[in-house]
Structure 1
Amino acid sequence: MRTFYAAETAQHAPKTFMLRGRIAQNEERAERAERLLAGLARLDLKAEEPPAAPAGTRSTVHSIRYLEFLETAYAAWSKLPGAGEEVLPNTHPLLPGPTYPTGIVGRTGWHLGDLAVPIGPGTWPAVARAADAAVAAAEVAATGASAYALARPPGHHASREVAGGHCFLNNAAIAAEVMIARGARPAILDIDVHHGNGTQAITYDRGDILFVSIHTDPSSFYPWFWGYAHETGAGAGEGANINLPLPVGADDEAWLGAIRVALGHIARFGADSLVLSLGLDIHASDPLGGMSVTTEGIGRAGELMGRAGLPTAIIQEGGYLSEPLTDNIAAFLSGFLGASS
């Protein structure tokens, strides 16, 4: 299996996170990539530097003004009198009928949906190269093989114009667009502990991509407002959005059972390829909590995905600093490769 990782992603070093009304250390730390790379090395998988994606690849998913904001926000913010060291919103356009602002503070409130996505000097290079890794994995999947992208920061909470939940560019949706452009009929399966609300927003009215998300019940967990079972798509996408929420603390059997249900939906959709949003934050030790899945369960999930037999672009989503993180990525990929060989 080919694997991709861009060293530039270490430049994204966010400091700020809002946790139950207090400022805390952001969990999206560069060290998590080091632990994931250690898991690849355990399987003798050497990560390649992805090539720069073709011009326009990101704009198949995100608006031009959003991409320009991400690229230029830190420089514009730094020119403000008394500016803080990170770009952070202090207001959001919640009332009906908002007008897109021209000032950097207003645009920050428009494009940053929460306080988990501070922008620093290295954020744009990191998110751009994370997307390049996802594109490289999708290009491999389009040839009929499978590949893994160690995309950091993750992407599944990012919608067309809004960042949130540590995510800036929706790497999974970008990967799916690459595969569609190559003539594929992909499904996106999201097994992160959090609902992939950004991916859902991007694909919700489309019938050419099936989106299935398995996650902790959002009635008591981030992202709170999306991810409920009654959200099934709209227009041409009616029936092509499937949410499988699980109770807080769900264990191996509940999670693996939902994966089996999801794979059944994918088979009935007639997908010929898969984008897998791989969140390892389902593990019982993850600092963001939510589920109680074990390393053994993660390995069994890899086996289920491998047996599905679909060319797969595996895109790293969550999975934050904990001792078993290296074990967990090694377990998943070992299970996947063992079942698909």
Structure 2
Amino acid sequence: MLTFHSERTKKRDAMTELDGGRLVRPFECPERVDIIIDRVRATDLGEIRAPEEYGLDPVLAIHDAGYVHFLERAWDDWSAAGMEGEAIPTIWPTRRMRGDVIPDTIAGEIGYYALAAETSLCAGTFEAAQASTDIALSALDHVMATGNPAFGLCRPPGHHAAVDQYGGYCFFNNAAIAAQRALDRGAAKVAVLDIDFHHGNGTQDIFYDRDDVLFVSLHGDPRQEFPFFLGHADETGTGAGRGFNVNYPLPSGTGYADWSETLDEAIARVHRYQPDLLIVSVGVDTFEHDPISSFRLISEDFTDIGRRLRRAGMPTLFLMEGGYAIAEIGINTVNLLSGFDSA
């Protein structure tokens, strides 16, 4: 399987994450990319290719222009304001506050555009987010041109990024941007299957009122898990999109027997939709030792996941999302991809 990768994704090297009341080094770190690439090479998964550069037009097809411009200048504005640390929001337009007026100062803008406080902005964030999108689009173009699967080693991840919000380590929604490009290139219908531990709230937000993209997600129950405020089973879409958003929230401690049974149900739902393309948002944070998740999958389970996805029998694009058990992230990710290749 062809892998798309860029060293530019490591331009984002944040030093601070708010976790349990402490400022710690982020769980989403550049080393994740190095470990996965090393495993791709060690297992001879396939060629590793640098992405093309696509500019901002595909990003602007999904994300609000004001939001994109904010991300482009946010670090410079934060630094120019004399702030000494990395940019972390401290206030939001929450209930009973106005959300229709964007503040003029960078401290206020960050609160407007952030959905959570754990994700700091740092130098290199915008460049890395662009590189991540280029990876997704290059991998997509390969799948559409050849019908063969491809893996986009995206970093930062994307599925928490909404139309005009960042958070959960995500800035541009790579899966959504790739789905829109596929439609623009002639696909009639696209399915996004999100198997990350955390709900892809951003992807849901972007396509919630559309019927040309089916979004299906298996994830930790939002009553207990980030992002908390989206991902319930009764969220099924609105307007034309009613019935085209499918959530499978699962309880803490879910093991592979129950998780894989739910995956089979999700794949069956994708089959009924009959998409021209399947985009898999790959999260291996369902692993039993992941530090910020609570499912109980083991490394061998990811090989079986790949086999099950192959049996879906459709052109498939894999895009990297989460996974924070650093020692095993390469094994788990490549197990899934190898399982797909060998089925």
Alignment partner, residue 206 of structure 1: 210
Judge conservation of contact 1:175–1:313 (CA < 8 Å) in 2: no
Q: Secondary structure at the match of 1:187?
A: strand
Counterpart amino acid of 1:243?
A: N
Closer, same or farther: CA 55–158 of 1 in aligned 2, 3 Å: closer
Partner of 1:141: 143
Pick aligned residue for 1:293 from 290, 294, 297: 297
Task: Give 2:185's aligned residue.
Answer: 182
Aligned: 1:37 with 2:37: yes
Give 2:240's aligned residue.
236
Distance 1:191 1:55 in 2: 27
The residue number in structure 2 matching 1:101 is 103
Secondary structure of the residue aligned to 1:201 is: helix
Report the CA distance between 1:118 and its aligned residue: 1.1
How many Å apart are 1:54 and its aligned residue? 4.8
The residue number in structure 1 matching 2:169 is 166
TM-score computed with the length of structure 1 as normaliser: 0.96
Give the alignment partner of residue 114 of structure 2, picking from 112, 115, 123.
Answer: 112
Distance 1:96 1:112 in 2: 15
Amino acid at match of 1:23: L
Deviations 1:69-100 (A, max 9, x none): 1111101110113x033121111111245312
Deviations 1:309-333 (A, max 9, x none): 2111100000114322121112111
Taking a change above 3 Å as real, the CA distance of residues 55 and 322 of structure 1, as seen in their structure-2 partners, is closer
* Aligned partner letter, 1:290: S
Structure 1 segments (4+ residues) deviating >6 Å = none
Report the counterpart of residue 231 of structure 2 in structure 1.
227
Q: How far apart, in 1, do the equivalents of 2:273 and 2:87 lie?
A: 41
Partner of 2:272: 268
Provide the residue aligned with 1:22 in structure 2: 22
Determine helix, strand or coil for the equivalent of 2:23.
strand
RMSD of the alignment, in Å? 1.2
| More moved, 96-105 vs 298-307 | 96-105
| 1:119 to partner: Cα distance | 1.2
SS of residue in 1 equivalent to 2:223: helix
Partner of 2:77: 76
Range moving further from structure 2, 316-325 or 169-178? 316-325
- The amino acid across from 2:299 in the alignment is T
In the TM superposition, what is the alpha-carbon distance from 1:167 to its structure 2 partner? 0.6
**Pairwise CA distance, 1:241:** 0.2
Ranges in structure 1 where 5+ consecutive residues have no aligned partner = none
Matched, 1:218 2:222: yes
Deviation at 1:258? Answer: 1.1
Separation in 2, partners of 1:110, 1:270:
38
Identity %: 37
Aligned residues: 338
- 1:132 — aligned with what? 134
Q: Distance in 1 between matches of 2:340 and 2:80?
A: 48
Counterpart amino acid of 1:206? R
CA separation of 1:122 and 1:267: change in aligned 2, threshold 3 A: same
Q: SS in structure 2 opposite 1:159?
A: coil
Q: Is the partner of 1:193 in helix, strand or coil?
A: coil
Aligned 8 A contact 1:40 1:329 in 2? no
